Amino acid sequence: MKARQQRMLAVGLAVTGLAIAAGLTLRAFKDNMMFFVSVSEVIAGEYPHERNFRVGGLVVEGSIERADGSLDVRFLVTDLRCEMPVEYTGVLPDLFREGQGVVAHGRMEQNVFIADEVLAKHDENYMAPEVAESMAKHVEDKTAALRESGTECLTG
Amino acid sequence: MWTFFHKMASPPHFFRVAKTLIPWLAIPGYALLAYGVFAGLFLAPADYQQKDAFRIIYVHVPAAYLSMMAYMIMAIAGGIGLIWRMKLAHAVAASAAPIGVTFTFLALATGSIWGRPMWGTWWEWGDPRLMSELILLFLYIGYIALRSAIDDTAKADKASAVLALVGAINVPIIHFSVEWWSSLHQGPTLVREGGPAMDPAMLYPLLAMIFGSSLVFGSMLLRRIRAEVLRRERRTRWVKELVLSPGGRR
């Protein structure tokens, strides 16, 4: 084998080995790499109990309740399978609205998620307002359908 | 075919070819950028949910794309330099790093400015997309620091090529971070199943910005490589002849 081919083999093997090592490491730490857990996971009890964590989902249509004269807000988040209540006091991002993705940071207390931070998550779709109007029904229908179907996940 | 590569690998030949190539990249590149900026700011409709704030995408996406592209060029050139002992490849890698780190910083900065009004935060520690892009910034900084820490060019080339190759694993991680793990960052808009999820009137300016900045990046890279080649070959006859020739420093 020529010296050049040896170097090629060495570089090739080293890069492949590193890729496999990185892949295995990331797999092992998969749960720690998650920025937020889903609503279903929280309902199933698969969340860190002893520390604060983040939960992500869509704000359920028609679920936002604001207390008069304060910044208190209560809403339901869903992952289109399960839903759970979130309570938060503070300023919400502009994008926060029904049917919109949110990521809340906080802790669980008696089946209610007490958030100290609520962030809005937007999706990868970009379109003009006129186009969006005709499609907006879609998300509404999805969260509404969930409410009506009353899946086994629903908790108060 | 091979003679073409061997010729390109010769520094004086590359030095000349690069010079003629630069305007062919730079002129259409800047023209595309001019169209992209105008169309992105004035012709594209406002987004249905992000309104006019979405327009930062026209800087953010090209910057993020080039931050990864420059790193891949750096790593592949470093690998070619290691395997084929090609000096020009190391010059390419060394030249790509400062441009790459600039685009990485730009991607992080524009992302942060975008995140504040849309997500409600400048920065979130632990988000996989944000973290992997930040690691890319550190890789570039480490690469540049390593190069400048070793005086011997041949040794610096080897050591930094190894670092670039090791760090290359981060590039696919950045790209797939939003698919493998949950993230505040949106999923891919352009490279996805079923085609780009974007209004064509918004999409064309974005594509113009991406291709335009890639061409400008190419022209900047060639300029830097030319300077790097001159520095590395400063003791050779062809550089001396070049400098001493009438109308020299060409």
Specify the higher pLDDT residue, B126 or B161. B161
Alpha-carbon distance of B197 to A32, in angstroms, equals 30
Residue-wise pLDDT tens digits, A103-113: 999 999 989 99
| Predicted local distance difference test score (pLDDT) of residue A33 | 83
Which one of A4, A15, A123 has the shortest CB-CB distance to B186?
Answer: A123
pLDDT score, position A29:
86
Say how far apart CA A137 and CA B12 lie, in whole Å.
Answer: 64
Q: Give the three-state DSSP class for A151.
A: coil
> How far A104 CA sits from the closest chain B CA (Å)?
11
Residues 6+ apart with CB under 8 A from B211: B32
Q: How far is CA B28 from the centre of its chain?
A: 18
Least confident of B1-10, B153-162, B208-217, B220-229: B1-10
Q: Which residues of A touch B79 (CB under 8 A)?
A: 11, 15
Q: Which of B183, B187, B197 sits opposite A126 (nearest CB)?
A: B197
Asked if B123 is an interface residue toward chain A (Cβ–Cβ < 8 A), one would say: no
Confidence grade of residue B58 (pLDDT, cut at 50, 70, 90): very high
Q: What is the pLDDT of residue A138?
A: 59
Q: Is pLDDT larger for residue A153 or for residue B94?
A: B94
Instruction: Evaluate whether A37 touches A47 at the Cβ level (below 8 Å).
Output: yes
Residue type at B107 in one-letter notation: A
Decide: B158 and B82 in contact? Cβ < 8 Å: yes
Quick one: average pLDDT of B230-239?
94
Q: Which domains does chain B have, with CATH numbers?
A: 19-44+54-221 (1.20.120)
| The model's pTM | 0.92
User: How far is the C-alpha of A53 from the C-alpha of B23, rounded, in Å?
Assistant: 53
Maximum pairwise Cα distance, chain A = 80
For residue B57, the cross-strand partners are none
Residues of A in contact with B181 (CB under 8 A): 30, 33-35
Nearest CA in chain B to A126: B198
How far off is chain B from A131, nearest CA to CA, in Å? Answer: 8
Q: Strands A72-78, A83-89: parallel, antiparallel or unpaired by DSSP?
A: antiparallel
A155 has a pLDDT exceeding 60:
no
Query: Which of B127, B166, B197 is nearest residue A124 as measured by Cβ atoms?
Result: B197
* pLDDT of the residue at A129: 86
**Chain B interface disruption, residue of A124, A135, A138, most B CBs within 10 A:** A124
Is A129 in contact with B127 (Cβ distance < 8 A)? no
CA of B180 vs chain A CAs: smallest distance (Å): 9
The sign of the dihedral angle between the CA atoms of B155, B161, B166, B167 is: positive
Q: What is the pLDDT of residues B167-186, one digit of tens each?
A: 999 999 999 999 999 999 99
Compute the nearest-CA separation of B50 from chain A (Å): 7
- How far is residue B98's CA from residue B221's CA, in Å, rounded to a whole number? 10
What number is the average pLDDT over the span B198-224? 97
pLDDT digits (tens, 9 = 90+) for A3-48: 889 999 999 999 999 999 999 999 888 888 889 999 999 999 889 8
Predicted pLDDT at B194: 87
Q: In whole angstroms, what is the distance from residue B169 CA to residue A18 CA?
A: 8
Cα B250 → chain centroid:
26
ipTM for the complex?
0.86
What is the per-residue pLDDT for A30?
83
Integer Cα distance of A144 and B2 in angstroms = 64
Structure token pair of residue A69: 């004269």
**Would you state the pLDDT for residue B206?**
97
User: Is the model's pLDDT at B30 over the cut of 60?
Assistant: yes
Residue B117 pLDDT? 93
Q: Is residue B249 over pLDDT 80?
A: no
DSSP one-letter code for A35: S
pLDDT at residue A137 is higher than 70: no
CB contact under 8 A, B187 and A124: yes
Q: Which element (helix H / strand E) includes A137?
A: helix A129-149
Nearest Cα to A112, choosing from A63, A42, A29, A47?
Answer: A42
- Is residue B192 within 8 angstroms of chain A, CB to CB? yes
DSSP letters, chain B, are -HHHHHHHHSHHHHHHHHHHHHHHHHHHHHHHHHHHHHIIIIISPPBTTTBGGGGGHHHHHHHHHHHHHHHHHHHHHHHHHHHH--HHHHHHHHHHHHHHHHHHHHHHHHHHHHHHHHTS-S--TT-HHHHHHHHHHHHHHHHHHHHHH--SHHHHHHHHHHHHHHHTTHHHHHHHHHHHS--SS---SSSSTTS--B-HHHHHHHHHHHHHHHHHHHHHHHHHHHHHHHHHTTTSHHHHHHHHSTT---
For residue range B133-150, list pLDDT tens digits in order.
999 999 999 999 999 999
Q: What is the pLDDT of residue A151?
A: 56
Mean pLDDT of chain B: 94
For chain B positions 193-222, those within 8 Å of chain A (CB to CB) are: 197-199, 201-202
Q: What pLDDT does residue A156 have?
A: 44
Distances (CA, A) of B100 to A149, B167, B213, B220: 51, 13, 12, 11
Q: Which residues of B touch A3 (CB under 8 A)?
A: none
- Alpha carbons within 13 angstroms on the beta-carbon side of residue B230 total 17
Q: At A3, which helix (H) or strand (E)? A: helix A3-28
Q: How high is the pLDDT of residue A152?
A: 62
Does B83 contact A19 at a Cβ distance shorter than 8 Å? no
Contact across the interface for B182 and A18, Cβ inside 8 Å: no
> B58, B61, B82, B119: best mutation site toward chain A, by most A Cβ within 10 Å?
B119
Phi then psi dihedrals of residue A77, to 5 deg: -110, 150
**Inter-chain CB proximity A35 and B128 less than 8 Å:** yes
Phi–psi pair at A78, nearest 5 degrees: -135, 150
Interval A96-120 mean pLDDT = 93
Better pLDDT: B85 or A134: B85
Least confident of A6-20, A122-136, B39-53, B213-227: A122-136
**DSSP codes of every residue in A50-117:** SS-EEEEEEEPTT--EE-TTS-EEEEEEE-SS-EEEEEEESPPPTT--TT-EEEEEEEEETTEEEEEE
* Chain A residue at shortest CA distance from B125: A35
Q: How far B244 CA sits from the closest chain A CA (Å)?
A: 37
